[in-house]
Structure formats: structure tokens, C-alpha cells
Amino acid sequence: MEQLHGRALIESRFGKVGSGVQVLNINGAEYDLETVLARMDLLLEDSKPLDMGAAPDGHFFVRYYDGMDQRVVAYEFDASFGFIAEYRGHIAEWIGEDAYYDSLKHVPFRCPLVPGDDF
């Protein structure tokens, strides 16, 4: 039996990316997406908040795009904001490999071995 990973695992466990909520009730208090990410020190300069929601087993999840790693991250936590698990899938799994590689063509790349040469 093949084990799920990446996008398949994230979406089978938490639903399609974007299908979650922007405000979540945890222990009787409402938290917006950015507050949850900040509380867990996940609101980073190169990240983009996506969604959050209730996870199986009475846990919660928050999803964001990690720009540095180029991955969609699903971070699972409990009602006291304690870490349970983290799942990652490369962005190419959502946008397609062709679109991913096409996006790289438009980013100038400077070769550190040849000063002044751009590729």
C-alpha cells in the first residue's frame, strides 16, 4: 500500500488548500489566521498565510506557504497551541511542474563564480 505524502497527505487530512477558515475558535476564544501564526512564531517575512481549521482527533491546523522552502506547510497543533506534527508539499504539486519551472525563468540568477554574469 502506497503511503501518502506532500499534497495528497495534506489534502486528505485537512481538505483542499483554501477550504479552511480565516477565524478559528480555540478554547472559547476567536483567533484570526495571522494571530495563530504569530502565536506559534510562524508568521515569517517570506511566508503567506493560507487557511486553518479543525483537524482529526480534536486537534487544529494552520496552513501557510513557506517562500524560502517553496512548500505549502500544514502545521498541526492542540488546543494549548502545542505542536503535534508538520506536513510539507512542494508548491509544484499545486501549480504543476511546468508552471513552477516557467516561474523560475523570470527570476534573474547571478552566478557567484562569474561576477557580473546573469543567467
Q: Where are the alpha helices (DSSP H) in the chain?
A: 6-14, 33-39, 92-95, 97-105
Q: Which ranges of 15-91 does DSSP label H, i.e. alpha helix?
A: 33-39
The predicted-structure confidence for 2-59, as pLDDT tens digits, reads as follows 799 999 999 999 999 999 999 999 999 999 999 999 999 999 999 999 999 999 889 9
pLDDT for position 90: 94
Sketch the domain layout of the chain as residue ranges.
Answer: 6-92
Give, in degrees to the nearest 5, the angle at Cα 34 between 101 and 41: 85
pLDDT tens-digit profile of 56-77?
889 999 999 999 999 999 999 9
> Which pLDDT score, from 0 to 100, does residue 107 have?
61
CATH 3.10.450 fits domain 6-92: yes
Specify the amino acid at residue 117: D
Query: What letter does residue 118 receive in the DSSP assignment?
Result: B
Q: Calculate mean pLDDT across residues 86-93.
A: 94
Q: What is the pLDDT of residues 94-116, one digit of tens each?
A: 978 777 667 766 666 555 555 55
| For the chain, counts of helices (H) and of strands (E) | 4, 6
pLDDT of res. 98:
76
> Quick one: cell of 30?
476567536
User: Could you give phi then psi for residue 49, rounded to 5 degrees?
Assistant: -60, 140
Q: Is 110 helix (H, G, I), strand (E, B) or coil?
A: strand
pTM: 0.82
